[in-house]
Copies of this chain bind each other. A is one copy, B any other.
Amino acid sequence: MLRRTLTALVLCLAAAGAAAQTLPLPDTLIDLRSDAGETLLHDSEATAAFTPLVSNFITQKTQSYCGVASMVMVLNALQLPAPVVPEYDPYRTFTQDNLLDAASEAIRPQATILERGMTLDQLGAILDLHAIAKVDHAEDTTLEDFRDKARAALSTDGQFVIVNYLRSAIGQEKFGHISPLGAYDADTDRFLILDVSRYKYPPVWVEASVLFAAMNTPDSDNDNRSRGFVRVRPRSD
């Protein structure tokens, strides 16, 4: 049985390697690049975040930098005044090399982020240095509340949502992860995750209930508080 499973796994990985660079998706997730995924995007109403975010879509720089990459996307999508980048002088932009500073160091040292990423609360606290960030732990709220808040934000220009969830709970490999949401489709009750580990997975449409359950999981790095989501908007809003 184990051998058969391993054989299937190897075949599966081989097929994925031949056809694509990203891992195969479970049937429950819809690849944005598929016909079904494009139709959802076309028919979705809550898409205010989509073009600002995909215009600033990046790949996390290391396998622990999902939180940093997600913040960089949102801060650039907000068009906030950004730091200087020597290579781009005189132009400015947030990057995964210039976002972290003395203030973020006090929240979560860069060395620790490089080692094992960051928690939902640290994500919110670092974002709050640049914008207004509201953290909701899934365990403190409900699916309905998450859906309402996220849909409202994704329907409003200049508002963004970043989710912190357990990958294995949505059928992906494997641990805690952070990425921005790109849109919501009411007919199918699915959110679009703009996954920043682009070497591993494409953007996917996931059912709200599945995503909420994946956020409602304990994070051992955060005193077993549950994961959740952060809403971000500019201070001047």
Contact = CB atoms under 8 A, between A and B. Distances in A.
Q: Is the interface of A mostly helix, strand, loop or mixed?
A: loop
A41 to B, nearest CB: 7
Given A51-B33, A82-B21, A88 B63 contact: yes
Contacts of A198: 55-56, 76, 93
Interface residues of A, number: 41
Interface in A112-163: none
A109 interface: no
Contacts of A37: 51
Q: Kindly report how many copies of this chain are found in the complex they form together.
A: 2
A52 B225 CA distance: 36
A212 B156 CA distance: 36
Given A21-B80, A62-B87, A93-B198, 4 more contacts: A54-B55, A54-B57, A58-B59, A88-B199
Closest 4 pairs (CB-CB, A-B): A93-B199, A20-B79, A54-B54, A91-B199
